[in-house]
Amino acid sequence: MEHDEIEVLREGHPAWRLLRAGNAALVLSFLGQFFVVDNHGAVSSTELAAALDDQLHLLNLSAPDEPRYPRPAPDYLQDWAATESGWLRRFYPSGSDEVHYEATSDLEKAYAWVTGLRARTFVGTASRLETVFDLLRQIVHGAESDPEARLTELRRRRDKLDREIAAAEAGEVAVLDPTALRERYQQFAGTARELLSDFREVEENFRGLDRAARERIASWEGGKGELLAELVGNRADITASDQGRSFQAFYDLLLSQSRQEELSELLAGVQSLDDLHPDRRLRTIHHDWSDAAERTQRTVRQISEQLRRFLDDQMWLENRRVLDLVRSVEAAALASRESPPPVGLDVDVPGIEIALPLERPLYDARPAAEVDSLLDPEAEADVDISALFGQTFVDQARLADHIRTIVPPSSTVLLEDIVNFYPVEQGAAEIVGYLALTDDDLEVTLDETQETIIEYADSTGQRRARLPRVTVSRR
């Protein structure tokens, strides 16, 4: 690579920028664990922020007065998804009102590089040489179209097998020694994990293909016939690309019943070899592959469907025309900016209103209420005034103090935890009191998707309150 090319990468490549970032340790440890190691797909911002919150809390615990990471979790996430960073992809999926985040392959690259820095106990080279031989054989024989040559190769392989069978029958079995086994296992583990991380890049490549196709269509200046030719060419683009075909082949291979079974058996076999100290996570790596491949497959399906819609002849022309018209609207609007024209769009009003006058109730005269505040002095004595004093008063200042005692500045705690320390004394009113806190330094948020159960006792006995998950943050 040349000097300038490296310079550009150093300045511009998200992975390299991540390595240079001030809080690289936080980004890599958190996002790496969450997305790469735990193999998560796109997640909602609440879920990711909650996970980051826990992490930040742990990291800040050592110095609660001068936290290392003082900002709230959502802020960090937004930064990491900004165009200048590019370690997370931020989008609103259809069907959800919440921002979702997804790791980019650049994050994956940076993480892989950092984990690669950790010294390995030994580096196996022999098994790699075997793999190289194997690959070479596949290439050479795979490209061989002469039947004679193919037969020679097949016979050679049969002879080799025959010799092995004869040796086994004579009682000689060549066993790999533990080092050779460990070495092969190491290579397997590396490849298996790399495969998992490759999916993210595959997905990004698909998105790139899609974007390129759309750009080409959007900027098309030629005639309609050429356009159609271009459209037909593009339609096949994504699935017929090298990327598309390789991915499809992988997917078919993985999904075939016999392969699945073989993989399960082999992985179980590997786990039972004591000398290897196998990684337990790898036992089910094929499920992780399936998950990740399924995710990618879904993305690809979505992308091609959207692209097909975008390519739809009529819509393309309509979009074209809309853009032209918008341009002329913009120009006219600019020209008469200082005196806005009294004209507007004429649009249909969605919905048809039916107003039935007789559906409304007739005027109903209410009797005037009479108020007599003068009490008969004799009746006064019997009035039960306990109801006036019986209303509960919840001292919100006390509740706020509870929170300030438990929650360190700029961190977040579940309401349940606060109630564990300061049991509810005034029943439901007190819980509502927490929710209604309006102090400047405290923030109470409700998460409707999750549920909390708070138990407390009042005069009627043990009670349970069921409410959305409540978190309390302190600024």
Closest contact distance (angstroms) between CB of 384 and other proteins is 45
Among the candidate windows 19-27, 92-100, 285-293, 395-403, which touches other proteins by CB under 8 A?
Answer: 92-100
The single residue among 62, 83, 121, 339 that binds other proteins, judged by CB under 8 A, is: 339
Is 298 an interacting residue with respect to other proteins (CB under 8 A)?
Answer: no
Shorter beta-carbon distance to other proteins: residue 309 or 360 = 309
The single residue among 277, 337, 464, 466 that binds other proteins, judged by CB under 8 A, is: 337
- Tokens at residue 141, please? 């024989």
Q: What are phi and psi of 390, to 5 degrees?
A: -75, -15
Q: What is the largest CA-CA distance in the chain?
A: 124
Closest contact distance (angstroms) between CB of 266 and other proteins is 37
Closest contact distance (angstroms) between CB of 339 and other proteins is 4
DSSP state of 351: S
Shorter beta-carbon distance to other proteins: residue 121 or 438 = 438
The single residue among 2, 346, 364, 382 that binds other proteins, judged by CB under 8 A, is: 346
Shorter beta-carbon distance to other proteins: residue 354 or 358 = 354
d(CA 159, CA 157): 5
The single residue among 119, 173, 175, 343 that binds other proteins, judged by CB under 8 A, is: 343
Return the closest-CA partner of residue 403 out of 395, 412, 390, 392: 412
d(CA 419, CA 270): 49
Closest contact distance (angstroms) between CB of 235 and other proteins is 15
DSSP state of 36: I
Q: Give just the sign of the alpha carbon dihedral 255, 256, 258, 262.
A: negative
Which residue type sits at 469?
R
Closest contact distance (angstroms) between CB of 212 and other proteins is 9
160-170 burial, b at 16+ Cβ within 10 Å, e below that, comes to: eeeeeeeeeee
Among the candidate windows 165-173, 346-354, 372-380, 451-459, which touches other proteins by CB under 8 A?
Answer: 346-354
- Tokens at residue 185, please? 């296992």
Using only C-alpha atoms, the chain has a radius of gyration, in whole angstroms, of 34
Residues in the chain: 475
The single residue among 135, 333, 383, 432 that binds other proteins, judged by CB under 8 A, is: 333
Is 149 an interacting residue with respect to other proteins (CB under 8 A)?
Answer: no
Site for other proteins in 303-322 (CB under 8 A): 303, 306-307, 309-310, 318-319, 321-322
The single residue among 71, 91, 125, 236 that binds other proteins, judged by CB under 8 A, is: 91
Site for other proteins in 429-468 (CB under 8 A): 448
Closest contact distance (angstroms) between CB of 321 and other proteins is 4
Is 326 an interacting residue with respect to other proteins (CB under 8 A)?
Answer: yes
Q: Could you give the angle at the alpha carbon of 285 between the alpha carbons of 279 and 286, nearest 5°?
A: 150
- Residue 462 β-bridge partners: 457
Task: Write the CB contacts of 468 (distance below 8 Å, at least 6 apart in sequence).
Answer: 446, 447, 448, 449, 450, 451, 452
- Tokens at residue 291, please? 């998950």
Is 356 an interacting residue with respect to other proteins (CB under 8 A)?
Answer: no
Closest contact distance (angstroms) between CB of 73 and other proteins is 16
d(CA 148, CA 238): 37
The single residue among 78, 181, 205, 214 that binds other proteins, judged by CB under 8 A, is: 214
The single residue among 13, 141, 207, 281 that binds other proteins, judged by CB under 8 A, is: 207
Task: Write the CB contacts of 15 (distance below 8 Å, at least 6 apart in sequence).
Answer: 106, 107, 109, 110, 113
* CA dist list (Å): 474 to 78, 272, 405: 20, 50, 11
Shorter beta-carbon distance to other proteins: residue 46 or 187 = 46
Q: How many residues bind other proteins (CB under 8 A)?
A: 57
Closest contact distance (angstroms) between CB of 55 and other proteins is 23
String marking each residue 255-294 x if it binds other proteins according to CB under 8 A: ----------------------------------------
Does residue 230 contact residue 236 with C-beta atoms inside 8 Å?
no
Among the candidate windows 121-129, 261-269, 285-293, 331-339, which touches other proteins by CB under 8 A?
Answer: 331-339
Shorter beta-carbon distance to other proteins: residue 275 or 318 = 318
Is 221 an interacting residue with respect to other proteins (CB under 8 A)?
Answer: no
Does residue 207 contact residue 303 with C-beta atoms inside 8 Å?
yes
Is 218 an interacting residue with respect to other proteins (CB under 8 A)?
Answer: yes
Is 97 an interacting residue with respect to other proteins (CB under 8 A)?
Answer: yes
Shorter beta-carbon distance to other proteins: residue 347 or 387 = 347
Does residue 185 contact residue 272 with C-beta atoms inside 8 Å?
no
Instruction: Name the burial class of residue 381, with classes exposed (0-12), middle (13-18) and buried (19+) by CB atoms within 10 angstroms of its CB.
Output: exposed
Interface ranges with other proteins (CB under 8 A): 91-100, 207, 210-211, 214-215, 217-218, 302-303, 306-307, 309-310, 318-319, 321-323, 325-326, 328-330, 332-354, 448
